[in-house]
Amino acid sequence: MASSIEHPAGCLGEKLTGQWWRSGEKIDGRYQVEIEVEAHGSAAAAGRAHGVGKSTVREGRHSLGLKRLPNSRAKINPVLASVDVPPEDDAWLLAALKKAGDRAPVEQLADVADVSPRRVREALDRLGHAGFRVSEGENAHVVLHRVPPPSATVHRALFAGEHIRFGTVSDTHLCSKHERLEELHIAYDFMQEAGVTRVLHGGDLGCGIGVFPGQINEIKLHTLEEQIEYEVANYPQREGMTTEIIAGNHDLEGNFGKIGANPVVAVCNRREDMNYLGDFSTTIETEQGCRIYMLHPRGSVGYAKDYKIRKISESFEGGDKPNVMLVGHWHGRLDTMVRGIQCLMLGCFESGGSFGARLGLADPAVGFHIVDLTVSDDGSVVRWLPAWYPFYKGRVVA
């Protein structure tokens, strides 16, 4: 990512090699990341100068066995850096909501925090941009949406024409010790070569924290800001490709959900190639009226792999049935048709882990789809070809 920052003396600039923050290559006996941090004065400044996050630089130093940097917090919170918001100016609003209640009027929050109503509304705008699910509802009541209901939003104009091609990924769980980031990058390379311009993501961009007992032992980064920085820096970005994503339970529940934060919104606000479509679910309607429903459900997989898929399909009323249903969360892969709905379970990009084994996900389907879809003038599906590309021990099977 190009940077307009003026580089100080000692900065390596164009001499930097790929992934310099964890490269074992040395210059004059020193790692590149050592030189950059010293030249810029901090990991955060070195990262900003070269388009990566502070946490990425810190993690790179740690992987090379370098001494840990002091944890001095900048005046600008990295999570809110894109809108230049000092944390001390906005944390008060979340504290005031906790004290006054999740649906307190603007004026009451202003009284509790001893600020003007205008400052409350300004803080709402900034927190919303940073991924916090705080909004002003009816009658000027401020609402903190801790765990929102599934989205009913319909997105149009994403696909044009009767022949449609898109990729699918799901449950990437970045920041998990079991993430399959290398395979995810290979998947995007493959899809780009195949002419895919849109990838639909079925939720759980990151792993979150506090989602299940003992999760802290299975993740690499432990704060909201660190996970957002890592996801912005490491999620695949390819020229000519966009990722359309919903949030899943690991994104919206656990510790992040308790404070009303949505890390996926924060990542999408900082990545022009990523678009946020909704909480837990969304509907995409094509030019001809074909409805593609994408869902990140709850709970563990049923006693038969298709059991819950069938129950969800049977829950639609006659006029509300989608033509296609894409399902994340269960880390499995399945292609079936129920009630005329083409149903596709999307797989994942995370190895099992101890909790996954307890949920029956000990043998996850790691991989991605490229879907070719042809629809008629009335929106019905006349051709459905989902090609599945699995990974086994880091190798793709075509």
CB atoms closer than 10 angstroms to residue 104 = 21
Residue 249 lies in a domain: yes
Same domain, 229 and 122: no
Are 350 and 275 contained in the same domain?
yes
pLDDT tens across 16-75, in order?
A: 888 888 888 888 888 888 888 888 877 777 887 887 777 778 777 766 777 554 433 333
User: How does DSSP classify residue 50?
Assistant: H
CATH number reported for the structural domain that contains residue 137 in this entry? 1.10.10.10
Angle between the 54-63 and 43-50 helix axes, to the nearest 10 degrees? 110
Structural domain including 94 reads: 78-144
pLDDT of amino acid 80: 32
Structural domains of the chain, count = 3
Amino acid sitting at position 80: L
Exposure string for 344-377, b = 16+ CB within 10 A, e = fewer: bbbbbbbbbbeebeeeebeebbbbbbbbebebee
Question: Are 382 and 376 within 8 A, CB to CB?
Answer: yes
Query: In the prediction, which pLDDT does 73 show?
Result: 33
7 part of a folded domain? no
pTM of the model: 0.71
Write down the pLDDT at residue 380: 94
Stated length of the chain: 398
264, 341: one domain: yes
Distance (Å, whole) CA 303 – CA 364:
16
Rounded Cα distance, 381 and 377, in Å: 10
Within-domain flag for 335 = yes
Amino acid at 385: L
Within-domain flag for 297: yes
Residue 343: CATH number of its domain: 3.60.21.10
Instruction: Assess if residue 128 is contained within a domain.
Output: yes
Same domain (yes/no): 131, 169: no
| 208 in any annotated domain | yes
Residue 6 lies in a domain: no
Give 212's DSSP letter.
S
Check if the beta carbon of residue 365 is closer than 8 Å to that of residue 333. yes
Contact criterion met (CB below 8 Å) for 263 and 227: yes
Which residues neighbour 57 within 8 Å (Cβ) at sequence distance 6 or greater? 21, 33, 36, 37, 43, 44, 46, 47
- Same domain, yes or no: 274 and 325: yes
Same domain, 96 and 225: no
Q: Are residues 331 and 274 in the same domain?
A: yes
| Helix runs in the chain, H state only | 32-40, 43-50, 54-63, 91-100, 106-113, 117-129, 181-193, 224-234, 249-252, 254-258, 263-270, 307-314, 353-358
> Could you tell me if residue 286 is left (phi over 0), alpha (psi between -120 and 50 degrees) or otherwise beta?
beta
Query: Residue 258 CB: number of other CB atoms within 10 A?
Result: 11
Residue with tokens 């609003």: 93
Query: Which of 144, 165, 181 is the last residue before a domain boundary?
Result: 144
Distance of CA 241 to the CA centre of its chain: 16
Measure the N-to-C terminal CA separation of the chain; round to a whole number of Å.
Answer: 31
End of a domain among 91, 118, 144?
144
Residues 166 and 273 in one domain: yes
* pLDDT value at residue 9: 79
Q: Residues 84, 119: one domain?
A: yes
Q: In terms of C-beta density within 10 A (0-12 exposed, 13-18 middle, 19 or more buried), how is residue 397 classed?
A: exposed
* Whether residue 229 is found in the same domain as residue 278: yes
CA distances from 144 to 94, 103, 203, 261 (A): 9, 7, 21, 9
Strand partners, 136: 142
Instruction: Kindly list the averaged pLDDT for each block of 10 residues, start to end, along the chain of length 398.
Output: 59 83 82 85 79 75 63 33 43 81 84 84 79 76 70 81 96 96 96 97 96 91 94 97 97 91 94 95 94 92 83 84 95 94 96 62 84 94 97 65
- 167 lies in a domain? yes
Q: Which tokens hold the place of 231?
A: 């996801």
- Does 189 lie in the same domain as 129? no
Sheet strand arrangement including 333-338: 154-156, 281-285, 291-295, 324-327, 341-346, 333-338
**pLDDT of res. 11:** 87
Position 270 scores a pLDDT of 93
Q: Phi-psi category of 39—alpha, beta or left, where left has phi over 0 and alpha has psi -120 to 50?
A: alpha
**Dihedral angle computed from the Cα positions of residues 176, 168, 276 and 229, in that order, rounded to the nearest 10 degrees:** 30
**Same domain for 231 and 212:** yes
